[in-house]
Structure 1
Amino acid sequence: MRLPRTSRPFTAVLLAGALSAGATSCSLPGDDGAGGGTGLERALGAVPASAADQAVTYRDVRTVRRLVAEDPGLYRGLDGFGILEVAQSGYTGGSVRADWGFGAKDVRASVLVGDSSLLTGEFDTDAVARAMRKQGYKASDTDGGTRYRKRGESGVYDVSESARVARRSHVALPLTAPDDSLRDVKAYAAVADCLGDVYEATYYAERQDADTVLFAIGGRLGKDGRSSSETLCARAASKKAAATTAAKLREKTAPGERYAGSEVTVGEGDTPMITMTWKNRPESGLRPADNDRTSELPGLLAWGRA
């Protein structure tokens, strides 16, 4: 067995997990907010298909903010809400609103792709313009909004009244929905269907040289609106690969293991979907999005084909 071609997607996931956020009922680029599928599906629709080699994290920011406030012990891994600037302010003590012209309350959804981010919500573009000028950024027009650049820095920021993109890498996220998105990629759509209506999720980069072509972990809320569980959905490359992957996962569900008692299932077809679900608990490795940091299950599935 061999290691993945690149560790970049996992580095991005660790960053995203440490910074966390998303949307279940938000309006994303190209979405009118009605009849557009789940929040995760709309998030995938905002990301160009060319980003399939990157990790993608999604958070319903408004739901996550409520959960972190109500039960920080369980949901502390999501306390950055997926907003890079919020996480940064936690380390520097700065003010997101003063520095960037918006706050967490303005954001409905966050999508992180590599180390670039897309936030959707309601943004005061005048406040953003003032904050960016104070930091030395120059404004120019771009498709759907205003672009901010600063001499000597590689970061680019695009802002409209309903979306904000922070581009810190080669991944170019648009303010408006791309013609060809991850939602149009068969494997991504199948995994989204498997996860269902989640309030947080992480996709690990698509790979054609592994037993699992694509996998993601997403969280659903219980009927009480506070408890939660997470599900891993993995698209196998073949029936044989599905059996191999399921066997690895079942080792983690044995008595005494972290996921003891969880059930691993294998679906039908030539490229079956493997699923595994566990209840979140306020202990290491079992809090929502803990796999973004520990990579326990992702690391298990990241190897190339035997």
Structure 2
Amino acid sequence: MRRFGMVLAMAGLVMAGCSGGDAGTGLRGAMSEVSGGESDQPFAYNDLAHWRELGVLRGREPEPDGPWQDAAYFGLDVLGVPELRDSIGVDLSAADRAVSVGYQPAAVRLDGAFDAAAVRDRLIASGGKPRKVGDHEVISRGGYATTTIENGGLAVRGNDDPFAEVAVSDSVIATGPGLADVLGGPVDLGDHPEYIAVADCLGDVVTAALRRPEAPGGVRLYGVGLRRPGSADERPSSVICVVPEPTAGADVRRGFTGGFTTRGTSGQGEPIGRHAEEIVHDEVESEGLTVLRAGVRHTAGSPASFFLKTFSPENHL
């Protein structure tokens, strides 16, 4: 794999183009822990240990003030409210990293140092039954809700418990539909060159989301990341990386660089300049692929998670 290092500076916006971590660390390390067999599903990464170091994540929930709150909890929706987590002893303050795979509600994996025996005992005491999924023990409390079509409409049947199935060990707690996807497998996301290329393009990020476009078109894969802040007082900076399909590079480049600017509008019709003080475009090469990149300096008061939650390349092509 070609590694690259570059520093891009323009009008006060500085972006470091470095790897998204070696194979066992950072974003790259997180990708190697999840199954790559269904690589068309969204993937999210969150470095909870870093948020804790900054004082953003102090206990059961992110701190309520400041621009970082949503980003510190990004990808963890399936875990529900603190009261639900507390009932089985799932403690976010013991988690160092979170990854999720799939559409909402996604499967979520927490890596850290957990009291596995206490969590297991509470799950079994509430009716859970142990079973094996690969090398992991999973406690099942009835499975997840299923959606069917009845009388021309959608009907939900089953269990809406966010901890209906939980894999638990001293270092991993995982739950959610598609649980097996976050427990790894013979093929991981790091076996897909486009995922490695996007991770290298994103660089040192504290939170990231990698997705396939919702509709087939000129984009193969894209990722949105939040640059790792040195303190909670910093202005957020995001980075967006887009891998075009081989035959659509020129069109995607034209649309991305011309449409994703401070003068453009988001898919929700909101002016991008309301959240981006400055956007700088460049390109990087990794894994034999050209990746289009945009560095974004947020405006004062803009939520750190804004582009993580709203960016979609289809809106600019």
User: Given the two structures, how large is their TM-score scaled by the length of structure 2?
Assistant: 0.70
Cα distance change of structure 1 residues 282 and 62 upon mapping to structure 2, 3 Å threshold: farther
What CA deviation, in whole Å up to 9, does each residue of 1:134-176 have, x standing for no partner? Answer: 332112344333211123645422112111221314x62253x
Residue of 199, 205, 214 corresponding to 1:198 = 205
| CA distance in structure 2 between the partners assigned to 1:277 and 1:203 by the alignment | 16
- 1:234 corresponds in structure 2 to 242
| CA distance in structure 1 between the partners assigned to 2:214 and 2:195 by the alignment | 12
Query: Do structure 1's residue 159 and structure 2's residue 150 form an aligned pair?
Result: no
Query: Secondary structure of the equivalent of 2:122?
Result: helix
Is the contact made by 1:56 and 1:205 (CA closer than 8 Å) also made in structure 2? Answer: no
Query: Gaps spanning 5+ residues in structure 2: where?
Result: 1-19, 58-62, 146-163, 266-270
Q: Which amino acid aligns with 2:239?
A: T
Query: Secondary structure of the equivalent of 1:173?
Result: helix
Is the contact made by 1:38 and 1:197 (CA closer than 8 Å) also made in structure 2? Answer: no
What CA deviation, in whole Å up to 9, does each residue of 1:241-298 have, x standing for no partner? Answer: 3223222213646998333431122457995321111224553xx32222343x2445
- 1:105 corresponds in structure 2 to 93
Cα distance change of structure 1 residues 221 and 142 upon mapping to structure 2, 3 Å threshold: closer
Is the contact made by 1:123 and 1:162 (CA closer than 8 Å) also made in structure 2? Answer: yes
> Deviation at 1:127?
0.5
- 2:255 corresponds in structure 1 to 244
User: Given the two structures, how large is their TM-score scaled by the length of structure 1?
Assistant: 0.73
What CA deviation, in whole Å up to 9, does each residue of 1:216-242 have, x standing for no partner? Answer: 111123455752411001112233132
> Deviation at 1:85?
5.9
Is the contact made by 1:117 and 1:173 (CA closer than 8 Å) also made in structure 2? Answer: no
Query: Do structure 1's residue 291 and structure 2's residue 307 form an aligned pair?
Result: yes
Q: Which amino acid aligns with 1:96?
A: R
Cα distance change of structure 1 residues 151 and 207 upon mapping to structure 2, 3 Å threshold: closer
What CA deviation, in whole Å up to 9, does each residue of 1:191-235 have, x standing for no partner? Answer: 100111211101122679322211111112345575241100111
Query: Do structure 1's residue 276 and structure 2's residue 294 form an aligned pair?
Result: yes
Q: How does 1:130-169 map to 2 (within 5 A)?
A: 130-151=121-142, 153=144, 155-169=164-178
Query: Gaps spanning 5+ residues in structure 1: where?
Result: 1-23, 26-34
| CA distance in structure 2 between the partners assigned to 1:223 and 1:133 by the alignment | 42
Is the contact made by 2:111 and 2:173 (CA closer than 8 Å) also made in structure 1? Answer: yes
| CA distance in structure 1 between the partners assigned to 2:28 and 2:257 by the alignment | 26
| CA distance in structure 1 between the partners assigned to 2:285 and 2:203 by the alignment | 18
- 2:224 corresponds in structure 1 to 217
What CA deviation, in whole Å up to 9, does each residue of 1:74-101 have, x standing for no partner? Answer: 1121343643465x215xxx1523x222
| CA distance in structure 2 between the partners assigned to 1:244 and 1:80 by the alignment | 31
- 1:96 corresponds in structure 2 to 85
> Deviation at 1:130?
1.7
- 1:261 corresponds in structure 2 to 278
Q: Which has the larger radius of gyration?
A: 2
Q: Which amino acid aligns with 1:239?
A: G
Query: Secondary structure of the equivalent of 1:172?
Result: helix
Residue of 67, 79, 83 corresponding to 1:74 = 67
- 2:181 corresponds in structure 1 to 173
What CA deviation, in whole Å up to 9, does each residue of 1:52-73 have, x standing for no partner? Answer: 2111111001212335257831
Is the contact made by 2:43 and 2:101 (CA closer than 8 Å) also made in structure 1? Answer: yes
Query: Is the helix fraction higher in 1 or 2?
Result: 1
Aligned residues: 260
Query: Secondary structure of the equivalent of 1:287?
Result: coil
Query: Do structure 1's residue 44 and structure 2's residue 31 form an aligned pair?
Result: yes
Cα distance change of structure 1 residues 251 and 106 upon mapping to structure 2, 3 Å threshold: closer
Identity among equivalent positions (%) equals 22
| CA distance in structure 2 between the partners assigned to 1:136 and 1:226 by the alignment | 45
Cα distance change of structure 1 residues 209 and 282 upon mapping to structure 2, 3 Å threshold: same
Q: Which amino acid aligns with 2:66?
A: G
| CA distance in structure 1 between the partners assigned to 2:32 and 2:213 by the alignment | 16
* Superposition CA RMSD, Å: 3.2
Q: Which amino acid aligns with 2:315?
A: L
| CA distance in structure 2 between the partners assigned to 1:45 and 1:235 by the alignment | 20
> Deviation at 1:37?
4.7
